[in-house]
Amino acid sequence: MIIRSLRNTRRLFTIARILAQEDALFIIDDLEISPSLSAICRIFTTKKPNKRKGQRLAAAIERLGPTFIKLGQALSTRSDLIGNALADDLAGLRDNLPPFPTKIARQIIEDEFQAPIESLFLEFNDAPVAAASIAQVHRAVTKEGKTVAVKILRPQIEQAFARDLDLFFWIAHIIERRIHSWRRLKPVQVVQTFKEAVFFELDLRFEAAAASEMADNIKRHEAGLSVPDVDWNLTSKRILTMSWVNGIPFSNIKAIKNSGFEPDIILGKAARSLFSQVFKDGFFHADLHPGNLFLDTSGDLVAVDFGIMGRLDWKSRIYIAEILRGFMQGDYKSVADVHFDAGYVPRSKSREAFTQACMAVARPITGKPLNEISIAALLGQMFSIAAEFEMEVQPQLLLMQKTMMVAEGVGRMLNPNLNMWELATPLIEDWAGENFGIKAKLKGTAESTQAIIQKFPYILTNIENTLKNLGDENGVKLHPDTIKLLNKERAGHEHYWLVFAWCTLALAFISFLALIMR
């Protein structure tokens, strides 16, 4: 414990010095981790008067390395923790680092597949096409003559993350012990969530699986978005190989506008695709910044980099749609009811006061012309009142809000006079008409009933095992008359499933009546 504290204190001093050099020591002051450390490091402070606090913090984070960049990106989705201003600035963190030597990249590939690189690829381009905090990408040609992008994890990245995560947990525990006002935000749980997310990014097989799942989903959608194919024979924990994308990155808006394709049509494809991912699939790309989205030669969109994905269960999708519809119709009581029914706001809070708060945050936004309305900003404002109403903020909703914000930003760069949600409105209305009301409630009831029925075999097995153990000579000792009675009951257990079935059907019918009479 002492060694750990000394190690982390030394690391914290290095961090504080970099924060001071970027004029971002305010974060240590706010966290109240070590006032004395902050005071000592002020001698390194370089004033940055023309930069906002969030910009100064982002600059320091980029200098602190991969783990901090990923943490900063994660915190950019938690406006409830750090506020909207800081969250917006951290969302712009640049995830690019100097590339590691190609010799090492080649060695990692050969170690993963236990074969010389010449036997795996016809060509392997030594110059990386991209280098981020966790991995870098090289262009290559497979033995079958297919051009591919080969993503390679940075060497010893796992050890670097483990060291920094230990520091984050150490700091989080200090904060929870010393700062009562921060306990509600559960800093240790925040770090744990971050650790779980990083786990998936440090195993490229998970990213390959996410890409494949999204590719399967979009086959059912209207054409307009595609996903590169995964080469599973050349994919492992540290290597991901996907088909090469020939297209214009959305980071080059000028080239997109000069491509010959109509910007409004491109924007419509983006809106429909994001809508389908969120509402139809409940599985969406949660890192759609301009560098991860391309326009291909046919005018369609291509998404890459599937390390950060979001999931929404059926109920969450219904709640989100009801919240958005309530806001757009000015029905703030409905918005409040949804938050309480979903359990996002404790029932001990005033429903009337929450309704008033919804109106307060929405009116300045929804009062604008439709093309100026930002759905992401609206959801962000809702999260801003989380603390006052002890609202339980859902991480997947925060991911979706940030994804919407990035999408809106790209859309406004293509055409500032057209809101992508205008283009998606007919789809949202059709989906709402199909899924709201009795049909949606019946679906929820049917899913619950099916889940119970699927458990019948396990219930019966548990009953049988329990009765067997009770009567066994090595089990619980019972009076002989009791054992006889149990054996008699056990002999007739084949009728139990009828009892469970009738009870379940009765409960389902009662639930159905209650739902349609609401």
- Model pTM? 0.75
Query: How far, rounded to the nearest angstrom, does the alpha carbon of residue 505 sit from its chain's CA centroid?
Result: 37
* C-beta neighbour count of 248 within 10 angstroms: 20
Buried b (16+ CB within 10 A) or exposed e, 46-80: eeeeebebbbbbbbbbbebebbbbbbbbbbbbbbb
Whole-angstrom Cα distance, residue 287 to residue 290? 9
By CB atoms closer than 10 A (0-12, 13-18, 19+), residue 202 is: buried
In this structure, the chain runs to a length of 518
* Residues 149/227, Cβ–Cβ less than 8 Å: no
Domains of the chain by residue range: 96-244, 247-436, 441-516
| Bridging pattern class, strands 225-226 and 239-243 | unpaired
pLDDT digits (tens, 9 = 90+) for 199-257: 888 999 999 999 999 999 998 887 789 999 999 999 999 999 999 999 999 889 899 99
Q: CA 326, CA 402: separation in Å to the nearest integer?
A: 21
Within 8 A by CB and 6+ apart from 98, the residues are 131
Residues 6+ apart with CB under 8 A from 246: 296, 297
Token representation of residue 213: 């799942």
453-481 residue pLDDT tens: 455 455 445 545 554 554 555 554 545 55
* pLDDT, position 479: 52
324-339 pLDDT, tens digit each: 778 877 888 988 998 8
Q: 287 an active-site residue? A: yes
Point out the catalytic residue in the list 281, 287, 305, 430: 287
pLDDT value for 441: 52
